[in-house]
Chains A and B, each alone.
Chain A
């Protein structure tokens, strides 16, 4: 129980238990607080600023907790040797699959465990974690700490940066009012903070089989049936027609994949459509009014369910698809169109080619996006070096290098580099489309219990998709439950 507060020990110096004298001195030096208990060691007592500029002892290694697949662990592995060459610090990497990672991150932070110095954080977790992650504004503006790498904040895709890293410490539910330029002083001036540096940015993109779309016979047949040229659809109305056109169950070919199974992916499909239909893609607004059961929401979900049940343009079993099922369906040649968060490679027995496109629009576009950021554990005993690592691993050159392992960069310079980098160009226009999608992306509501809210919405999407409920009923039922959840979490709902 005592150790529950050991993360604060560097502040108060009261909990000596479990810490060596040396590490205590070290962390005290880092935080710059007086430690009367140590008697003569009180020479370390110095104003915060000066100590900050004085270099904290360089650790031999830093522990980093990372996501195996979702944030592309291979990319980080590529860069680790370079970081060692640059700084002499070994990164001890521990990667976990998504659920385990989330559990681990929350568990480590909840008990203020100093074990991990740098932690990868997914957007939906951040509202609950702001108290446990080190605010970085002072680090970012401290010249001395940017000796290894220049943070170059204006190089981040603004939308990605604000959605991922900028939170109000006292009201973590708030979105930053003006996300047009990344400026530390403007952020702190509004009472916001920066809780990490974005790295892997995922957004929903569409992909299609050019061999099918450019098939002469098919093109002619489409044109005679619909009176326009066959091309990847710009709008959702066209999307239905194109998907219908390619749906040929006899040939084992269907129009499109969707991710309608139980899971976060179904919510993300829905909120993409909700935003496209002109609704509030965040689903719950800043003042906690529900925005997903609006008329736009009902229309969007009706469209979604109709693709499956009315037009039948999806492969069998789509209502239990997750993102990997959707990926498998597209890559095995089962569908002409796919929508997912990454590059695809067709299975060896499928002859064909892939091109990428923006997810279609209705009245507008708002593909779902979410980004992983590298954050510094507040309880870490090497916060300054942890910051340097987070900064270095997310900088432009490192991100560009990580393209070799298909990182989805968060920096504009990396997208510029991707135009000519053959690691990126071998995926055709993927990076171009990803960059555009990120600029249009719509994030998630900032709720500490988003996981529970998410689940009620995906159940609604899945229920409508399987036809067990009408879209209205499903959304209404979810709305009642979400309202109760918001109340439970202590949010002021009317």
Chain B
């Protein structure tokens, strides 16, 4: 038996402990604190009056239509943004996969949007989509695609379009580059064999290439989904949740409640509810991922 295959509980735990310690400090401890606060009427300015109020904060979450709305739109935002990024990313990856100088240059340029500070990208987006001096309206009208100028952030539909387009601009390259690397790593033999058997075009891709690409798709989707659930600064700068509350994702509600109104108890209960939701969803996604890759296998 190889030495590395031995049971090595002591060394193993010793090596992971520092990392686990930091993670505990930054995840479990905050979660416990939030849990404690979530049962209280806890206002930051009056921490000494943190009265225990049982499930009151949670009852408020369940009965408050605005909170239900923001949870729903959060999910819709994530599904829409990640879905679009996956489809467009896959298309881009197929275009990028053949190795050529032109493609290498394109792949390099595609990295740039990812490097832009999210707060900056949202401010730039706001200006590009500004109905009066924005480049989007001006040039779309100039080339005749658009008639009346569109006030992008003034109706829920166009505001959502603007918000999602920002996410798609910034993160589709991320999906595309992972899938591109995946496509480039697929050995040509299965494809050639299938081609000899008469498979063509779409079927060739769907039956042969895509299954081999699946682990890459899984990783891209997992990472993007998790990040999309964390979206905060961009939407805050871009729409502030508006018009009305149509783009108020849950992170905006949590931030406002806990860090602007300083109702820490109410904010904490929202945070816990969100965490519970994520901790039901994420292990499911990890399980799918584990089927496809060695990511979480022992």
Contacts and interface: CB of A to CB of B under 8 A. Distances in A.
Contacts of A99: 260
Interface string A305-319: 000000000011111
Given A110-B47, A129-B45, A468-B156, A317 B151 contact: yes
Interface string B223-258: 000000000000000011111110000000000110
Given A262-B243, A263-B240, A459-B244, A466 B47 contact: no
B202 interface: no
A315 B132 contact: yes
Contacts of A252: 132
**B contact face: mostly helix, strand, loop, or mixed:** loop
A450 to B, nearest CB: 9
Interface in B129-150: 130-133, 149-150
A237 to B, nearest CB: 26
Contacts of A4: 47
Q: How large is the interface on B (under 10, 10 to 19, 20 to 34, 35 or more residues)?
A: 20 to 34
Contacts of B261: 449, 451-452
Interface stretch (A101-109, A215-223, A273-281, A360-368): A101-109
Contacts, number: 99
A119 interface: no
Contact of A463 (B41, B133, B243, B262): B243
B151 A320 contact: yes
B108 interface: no
A159 interface: no
Interface string A154-165: 000000000000
A316 B131 contact: yes
**A contact face: mostly helix, strand, loop, or mixed:** helix
A455 interface: yes
Contacts of B132: 252, 315-317, 329, 332, 334
B244 A103 contact: no
Q: How large is the interface on A (under 10, 10 to 19, 20 to 34, 35 or more residues)?
A: 35 or more
A396 interface: no
B154 interface: yes
A466 B130 contact: no
A455 B256 contact: yes
Nearest to A320: B153
Interface in A459-494: 459, 462-463, 466, 468-469, 481, 488
A169 interface: no
B269 interface: no
Contacts of A320: 151, 153-154, 159, 239, 242-243
Interface in B120-135: 130-133
B53 to A, nearest CB: 10
A325 B239 CA distance: 13
A194 to B, nearest CB: 20
A451 B133 CA distance: 32
Contacts of B159: 320
Given A320-B153, A452-B256, 5 more contacts: A102-B260, A110-B45, A110-B262, A128-B262, A334-B132
In the A-B complex, the 9 residue pairs with the smallest Cβ-Cβ separation, listed nearest first, are A262-B242, A317-B131, A320-B153, A316-B131, A317-B151, A262-B240, A319-B154, A463-B244, A316-B151
